[in-house]
């Protein structure tokens, strides 16, 4: 049997001191922990539940963690462990997420007031500046990944999804009708139109994404200090997670509506909201150390959009006309069906995954502690 199986079975009936063996097995965790709550989160990450704790003669994992913490000798122990508090207020980190929106707004303004080669230079400078601004936001503050978490290579796929929001539907419609005959001219009314409102709204949404993530993480840490069991903690955190997600979508809806009105563009709500939901959930998971699922989902979503475009162009080959039938059917139903369907399915998948992972105590270990 595996090591995890041994933990779930608990101690043997005749064990005189069932906690001693567990302490020996997890001594490094207990020595590193700054309070019993960190031990509880670590035990949960190793598969120990409240039911397992009962077999160690404790009512829940938190009670078991308190005994493990008390058994490890330390120099200068405080008389009472201090519960983890909310993340410290970092004014710079909470103001920094405003930068991508400001940079994107300046870039869109430059595009709308330039033409020819100057517009091309303005677009290149805008993309570079936005990339640097987003990188700064994702390296510091609530949206940054923990030091111990691997950094998945998701930047290329993320930029593809944002690029599709800017140019993809226009290219897809041109491809279905036999184009494009020329590159985009950087305007919303040209042969290959740009839809800048969704990109501007997503850039502006970096701020509410960071702030809601900060609120969720702070609430989870406070509940970790007051909960008396893993099930109690999960039951109190999951509604806050869903509320955080809904609050972000409301903010994104307001930003998209405002950006569309200011830029005099249609507001593509389905495609933009599903893309925003996908990117927010992916970053929320990565900010808590869960990087594998976001990487896989972002890759599959971008791959689906690449495939949709590729099938339309491949349908021009002799005998391959049927390849574009699914995409043409989708776009006939709704012009933004491809991003709405692909990002919608991906966002729903990540929402289910996040609702299972993020309400766990082990998702809120102090920074620098491995799960």
pLDDT digits (tens, 9 = 90+) for 137-156: 988 888 888 766 666 778 88
Q: How confident is the model at residue 188 (pLDDT cuts 50, 70, 90)?
A: low
Per mean pLDDT, which of 82-86, 188-192, 328-332 is the most reliable? 328-332
250-291 confidence digits (pLDDT tens): 999 999 999 999 988 888 899 999 999 999 999 999 998 888
Here the tokens at position 127 are: 């993309």
Cα dihedral angle (75, 81, 84, 90), rounded to 10 degrees? -50
What pTM was estimated for this model as a whole? 0.80
Average pLDDT over residues 91-95: 75
Residue that has been written with the tokens 């001693």 in this structure: 20
Chain centroid, CA 275 distance in Å:
11
Convert 23-38 into a string of H (helix), E (strand) and C (coil). HHHCHHHHHHCCCHHH
pLDDT of residue 8: 45
Average pLDDT over residues 348-367: 84
pLDDT(320) > 50: yes
Q: Mean of the pLDDT values across residues 346-367?
A: 85
If one compares 205 and 152, the residue with the highest pLDDT of the two is: 205
Contact assessment for residue 68 and residue 116, using Cβ atoms and an 8 Å cutoff? no
Mean model confidence pLDDT for the chain: 81
Q: Radius of gyration of the chain from Cα atoms? A: 25
pLDDT tens digits, 105-136? 999 999 888 887 788 888 889 999 999 999 99
pLDDT value at position 268?
Answer: 87
pLDDT of residue 16: 59
Domain ranges of the chain: 3-71, 91-364
Residue 102 CA to residue 98 CA, distance in Å, equals: 6
Can you tell me the mean pLDDT for 325-347? 89
Give 333's contacts (C-beta < 8 A, 6+ positions apart).
none
Residues 130, 232: Cα–Cα separation, whole Å: 42
pLDDT band at 14 (very low <50, low <70, confident <90, very high): very low
Residue 80, Cβ neighbours under 10 Å: how many? Answer: 7
């Amino acid at each position: 049997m595996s090591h995890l199986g041994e933990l779930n079975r608990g101690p043997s009936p005749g064990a005189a001191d069932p906690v001693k063996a567990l302490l020996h097995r997890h001594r490094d965790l207990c020595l590193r922990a700054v309070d019993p709550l960190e031990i509880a989160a670590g035990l949960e990450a190793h598969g120990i539940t409240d039911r397992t704790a009962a077999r160690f003669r404790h009512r829940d994992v938190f009670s078991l963690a308190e005994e493990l913490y008390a058994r490890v000798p330390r120099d200068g122990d405080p008389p009472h462990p201090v519960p983890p508090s909310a993340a410290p207020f970092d004014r710079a980190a909470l103001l920094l997420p405003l930068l991508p929106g400001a940079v994107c707004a300046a870039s869109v303004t430059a595009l709308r007031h330039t033409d020819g080669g100057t517009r091309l230079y303005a677009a290149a400078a805008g993309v570079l500046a936005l990339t640097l601004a987003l990188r700064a936001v994702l390296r510091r503050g609530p949206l940054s990944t923990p030091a111990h978490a691997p950094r998945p290579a998701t930047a290329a796929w993320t930029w593809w999804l944002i690029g599709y929001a800017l140019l993809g539907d226009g290219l897809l419609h041109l491809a279905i009708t036999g184009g494009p005959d020329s590159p985009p001219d950087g305007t919303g009314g040209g042969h290959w139109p740009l839809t800048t409102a969704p990109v501007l709204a997503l850039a502006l949404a970096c701020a509410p994404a960071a702030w809601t993530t900060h609120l969720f993480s702070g609430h989870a840490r406070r509940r970790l200090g007051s909960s008396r069991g893993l099930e109690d903690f999960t039951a109190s955190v999951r509604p806050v997670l869903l509320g955080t997600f809904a609050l972000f979508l409301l903010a994104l809806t307001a930003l998209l509506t405002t950006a569309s009105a200011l830029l005099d563009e249609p507001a593509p709500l389905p495609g933009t909201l599903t893309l925003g939901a996908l990117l927010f959930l992916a970053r929320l998971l990565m900010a808590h150390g869960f990087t594998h699922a976001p990487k896989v989902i972002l890759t599959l979503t971008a791959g689906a959009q690449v495939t949709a475009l590729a099938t339309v162009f491949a349908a021009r080959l002799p005998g391959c006309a049927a390849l574009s039938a699914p995409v043409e059917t989708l776009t006939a139903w709704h012009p933004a069906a491809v991003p709405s369907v692909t990002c919608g399915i991906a966002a729903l998948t990540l929402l289910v995954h996040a609702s299972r992972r993020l309400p766990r105590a082990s998702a809120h270990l102090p920074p620098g502690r491995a799960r």
